Amino acid sequence: MKKVSATILATLTLMALLVLGFGGNAWAADGSKGEIGIVFTSLNNPVFAFMKDKMEAKVKELGYTPVTLDSQEKSDVELQNVQNLVSKKVAAICILPVNADSAINTVKTANDAGIPVVGWNRVIDTKDKCKFVTQVVTDNKTGAIEAGKLAVKLLANTKNPEIAILRGTPGIDADIDRSEGFYEGIKGTPLEKTIVAEQAAEFERQKGFAVTQNILQAHPDVNLIYALNDEMALGALQALQVANKTGVFIIGYDGSEECVAEIANGKVTATVAQQFANLGTSAVEWAVKATEGSAGSVEPVIAIGTEMVTAENAKGYVFK
């Protein structure tokens, strides 16, 4: 009887360890399969707050518990967040990187712990120093090309047109692709040499407001402002309103709810809408597939398309 009791005790002990999470992807104490870490650059951006809700819902739908962290646009905080997730032995991590340089070390921290990492929204050139399962991103350049083509149509009958561009954070792939794409969209047209100002506003509304004010002082006859995200576009709108300037076209990029509302109200011209819900939930799905061993062969970068939102489709626009 003693031998039988010892065997039973050992079995029960092993089962307890598995439930407590010492068995890799075993079911956690709360009944879920484990935890999925979600790391944002910042949750101050309403678009990212929207993504947070969608991603957490998808994590729960797939049987896991979400652990969402905010890096506050700081590389050191991002590293601390991933280190915390590693210490919690999460099943996988979805990360929106602050920048390329810091992301390599951050992702490598998870790699060394054997935790799969899926990136989204920004492409990071790993230089083979770290490994993503995949990176799910917007086809930023194609969307920007469409923004350029729209600018050509909008200014077709404008004499001596002037365009200002509000850039984002230098070096970020979204900043590069959304800029290069716009230039490609206007290439070979009369607008090709009409860019009178191009300044960084770091994807922030307040900086978009301040930069636009400076641009208007130097170029009061600007006809169109292309902002590389909606937050800067809304900042540009505020600056135009303060300056009592009307008739200036504004094209944003993101498809945020507030910007779409301003399009419906006739105050912003258009925005290139990303499929934020699809971006986030796809990242979660690949993270779960990786931790469950069903990811198989996957492309290093998965690009998701965009949609132009104008006055024609802004009212009742369904966010994807």
Q: Provide the whole-model pTM.
A: 0.76
Same-domain check for residues 185 and 85: no
pLDDT the model gives residue 122: 86
* DSSP type of residue 97: -
Same-domain check for residues 152 and 167: yes
How many folded domains does the chain comprise? Answer: 2
pLDDT the model gives residue 273: 96
Same-domain check for residues 148 and 201: yes
Q: Which amino acid is at 39?
A: V
In whole angstroms, how far apart are CA 306 and each of 167, 191, 255, 300?
Answer: 19, 23, 9, 20
Would 48 be classed as within a structural domain?
yes
Residue labelled with tokens 């990176």: 135
Given a cut of 50, is residue 20 above it in pLDDT? no
Same-domain check for residues 282 and 187: no
Same-domain check for residues 230 and 170: yes
CATH code, 296: 3.40.50.2300
pLDDT band at 175 (very low <50, low <70, confident <90, very high): very high
pLDDT the model gives residue 182: 98
pLDDT the model gives residue 27: 52
Would 312 be classed as within a structural domain?
no
pLDDT band at 283 (very low <50, low <70, confident <90, very high): very high
Would 317 be classed as within a structural domain?
no
Would 176 be classed as within a structural domain?
yes
Would 316 be classed as within a structural domain?
no
Kindly state the average pLDDT of the residues 239-265: 97
pLDDT the model gives residue 163: 98
**Taking all residues of the chain, what is their mean pLDDT, rounded to a whole number?**
90
Q: Is 226 in contact with 195 (CB distance < 8 Å)?
A: no
* Domain residue limits at 219: 140-273
| Residue predicted with more confidence, 247 or 127 | 247
Same-domain check for residues 130 and 22: yes
Q: Which of 300, 311, 241, 303 is closest to 270 using CA atoms?
A: 311
Helix ranges (DSSP H) in the chain: 2-17, 46-61, 75-87, 100-112, 140-154, 173-186, 205-218, 230-242, 257-264, 276-291
Same-domain check for residues 286 and 266: no
Same-domain check for residues 150 and 108: no
Given a cut of 80, is residue 213 above it in pLDDT? yes
In whole angstroms, how far apart are CA 18 and each of 60, 65, 82, 114, 131?
Answer: 20, 17, 23, 18, 28
Alpha-carbon distance of 97 to 289, in angstroms, equals: 21
| Residue predicted with more confidence, 56 or 99 | 56
Would 6 be classed as within a structural domain?
no
pLDDT band at 30 (very low <50, low <70, confident <90, very high): low
Residue labelled with tokens 């505020």: 238
Same-domain check for residues 110 and 180: no
Given a cut of 90, is residue 212 above it in pLDDT? yes
Tokens matching residue 187: 């290439």
Same-domain check for residues 70 and 53: yes
Q: Is 103 in contact with 173 (CB distance < 8 Å)?
A: no
Tokens matching residue 310: 């104008």
Would 132 be classed as within a structural domain?
yes
Same-domain check for residues 148 and 266: yes
Would 8 be classed as within a structural domain?
no
pLDDT band at 28 (very low <50, low <70, confident <90, very high): low
Tokens matching residue 202: 């770091």
What is the tally of helices (H) and strands (E) in the chain? 10, 12
Q: Which of 10, 86, 25, 89 is closest to 293 using CA atoms?
A: 25
